[in-house]
Amino acid sequence: MSLLATALCFIHPITIQGRYFVDTITNEPFYIKGVDYQPGGSSGVVDYKDPLSDARACARDILLFQELGINTIRVYSVNTDLNHDACMSMLAAAGVYLALDVNSPIPNHHLNRYEPWNSYNVEYLENVFKVVEQFSYYNNTLGFFAGNEVINDITSAKNSAVYVKAMVRDIKNYISYNSPRPIPVGYSAADDLNFRISFSSYLQCMDESPSDSVDFYGVNSYQWCGDQTFYTSGYDSLVNDYLSYSRPVFLSEYGCNLITPRQFGEVPTLYSNDMVDVFSGGLVYEFSQEPNSYGLVELSSNGDVKLLEDFLSLKRQFDALPEIDYHHVAQAMRQNAKEIQSIKKFQRFGLQPCDETYEHIDISRGIPKSLADDLVDFGVEVQRGRFISLSEQDFTCAFNILDPKGQPYPISKTITPIIDHMSGVGYDKFNRVRHKSGMYNGDESKDENGVSEWEYSDSDASGSETDSESMGNKDETIFSKASTYLANAFHSIANIFSHS
């Protein structure tokens, strides 16, 4: 019997409502809990392999993703001439999403930050769109990074800002015309206060159309080093910097290694009420040990893997995380939806128009005219990704997994599928939401008419089914009072966003 016969369901695409990532079916907010994944670094992408082309290596590493309890990985570059169906299917079955950079170190596959006018050309755009085209057909593609740390010094800030915005525009236009579903497009910023905040403002503003505004903003931050707190680390300032940001923000890289082994003390804070209103989680840098010494594991040439102390530290932090306070998040999401409603009374798309200038970056030359019109109109030729059926053997790790002392690590060698990636039947994540003290006390607030602020009916959802039916699970006995209450809350919030 296929191992997937006992799996739950297909993986739901993630979309954006205001400043939050949300599940497209349940409307539950989605918080990124993941790692950056690029075994071999920039040299790990060649003609015959990339991080998502070797099914045996993927089975090994996805097994460890499950051991960590993560839901997202970030991959920095891929080769679209290779097949990624097996790895993406395994990730989907394990409930893991992919945040993917569209650039790579290969010539004509990235912007030259100092002379972007030379590298922004049709050949480059075609290579970018091949990545988008191929990975748009996997439901677990969370989003695309249009750039990573392109702006990182005075010269790049002078020359490249408008080209990054052009790339956001071009990718979003390509997705709009050619992809089977909307997929978020964003940017990952360098950990430099001179550029990070002003550039985020520029990327979220609307210049010519909504397509030139990012859907999310990633911050590469290494400021929490060693024994810190929300305040001593400067995370309070980080939150304050993006308090009014209109799009989801998350840590696209984190994990200072000045003090080793890393203890990842920032993890509890990142998923606490101090941050979840503004930050949508984060990605630890990085999975495999490379020359810069940020690795969680060490990969041998024969395929065996040795866990490092950092892996065990991160696992302890993730294992100890309490359930996110969804009641708190629901309140914040509802407030955000109302704010967007108010803004749209004056601004059609709810986006601020761009200013004439931004501190430390030069936008005076304006966004370059798109060179992508024909590519957008006619598409690009590349093998489209698709989910494939998998056997128990596909989910089995063929390599040795060792602890930091070189001894066998006690772990099952088989991935546990939690999602039937081949099914079209929905499911409810709230059957995994544990009741949390204070999450629901039966005392929800009322509006001026005495109606619960979370009250939800079929008519509110524009003809959708009831929450338990639409999520493919009619056995209401699995729901706690808290989870059904919150499911209704998030559906109600989605209704506000949809009518904004």
Residues with active-site annotation: 149, 253
Closest CA to 23 of 11, 33, 34: 11
How many CB atoms sit inside 10 A of residue 293's CB?
A: 10
Task: State the Cα–Cα distance between residues 338 and 215, nearest whole angstrom.
Answer: 19
Closest CA to 11 of 391, 414, 396, 422: 422
Tell me the C-alpha distance between 94 and 359, whole Å: 43
CA torsion sign for 265, 270, 272, 274 is positive
Structure token pair of residue 95? 């409930």
Cβ neighbours of residue 313 closer than 8 Å, sequence gap 6 or more: 261, 262, 263, 264
Residue 213 CA to residue 352 CA, distance in Å, equals 10
| CB of 357 closer than 8 Å to CB of 159 | no
Written as one string, the DSSP assignment of 126-162 is HHHHHHHHHHTTSTTEEEEEEEES---SHHHHHHSHH
Count CB atoms within 10 A of the CB of residue 348.
10
Q: Which residues of 431-445 are buried (b: 16+ CB within 10 A; e: fewer)?
A: eebeebeebbeeeee
3-state class (DSSP) for residue 192: coil
